[in-house]
Amino acid sequence: MSIKGKAYIMGAYEHPLRDAPDKSTPQLHAECAKGALEDAGLTKDDIDGYFCAGDAPGFGAMSMVDYMGLRNVRHMDSTETGGSSYLLHVGHAAQAIAEGKCSVALVTLAGRPRQNKFFGGGAGKPGQLTDGPPEAGYENIYGGSTHNTYGMCAMRHMYEYGTTSEQLAWIKVAASHHAQYNEHAFLKDVVTVEQVVNSRMISDPLHLLDCCVVTDGGGALIVTSPEVAKSLNRPKVKVMGAGEAPKGPMGGRGLDLTHSGAVWSGPIAFGEAGVKPSDIKYASIYDSFTITVLMQLEDLGFCEKGQGGKFVADGNLISGVGKLPFNTDGGGLCNNHPTNRGGITKVIEAVRQLRGEAHPKVQVPNCDIALAHGTGGSLGTRHGAATLIMEREA
pLDDT digits (tens, 9 = 90+) for 140-171: 777 778 899 999 999 999 999 999 999 999 99
Band of pLDDT at residue 343, cut at 50, 70 and 90: very high
Band of pLDDT at residue 122, cut at 50, 70 and 90: very low
Lowest mean pLDDT, pick from 100-104, 146-150, 226-230, 385-389: 146-150
What's residue 135's pLDDT? 76
Please name each of the domains of the chain with its CATH number: 7-115+216-235 (3.40.47.10), 142-214+240-393 (3.40.47.10)
Per-residue pLDDT at 254 exceeds 50: yes
What's residue 193's pLDDT? 98
Q: Across residues 190-196, what is the average pLDDT?
A: 98
Per-residue pLDDT at 377 exceeds 90: yes
What's residue 174's pLDDT? 98
Per-residue pLDDT at 215 exceeds 50: yes
Band of pLDDT at residue 132, cut at 50, 70 and 90: low
What's residue 27's pLDDT? 96
Helix (H), strand (E), coil (C) string for the chain = CCCCCCCEEEEEEECCCCCCCCCCHHHHHHHHHHHHHHHHCCCHHHCCEEECCCCCCCCCHHHHHHHCCCCCCCEEECCCECECHHHHHHHHHHHHHHCCCCCEEEEEEEECCCCCCCCCCCCCCCCCCCCCCCCHHHHHHHCCCHHHHHHHHHHHHHHHHCCCHHHHHHHHHHHHHHHCCCCCCCCCCCCCHHHHHCCCEEECCEEHHHECCCECEEEEEEEECHHHHHHCCCCEEEEEEEEEEEECCHHHCCCCCCCCCHHHHHHHHHHHHCCCHHHCCEEEECCCEHHHHHHHHHHCCCCCCCCHHHHHHHHCCCCCCCCCCECCCCHHHHCCCECCCCHHHHHHHHHHHHHCCCCCCCCCCCCCEEEEEEEEECCCCCEEEEEEEEEEEC
What's residue 145's pLDDT? 84
Per-residue pLDDT at 25 exceeds 90: yes
Per-residue pLDDT at 93 exceeds 50: yes
What's residue 217's pLDDT? 96
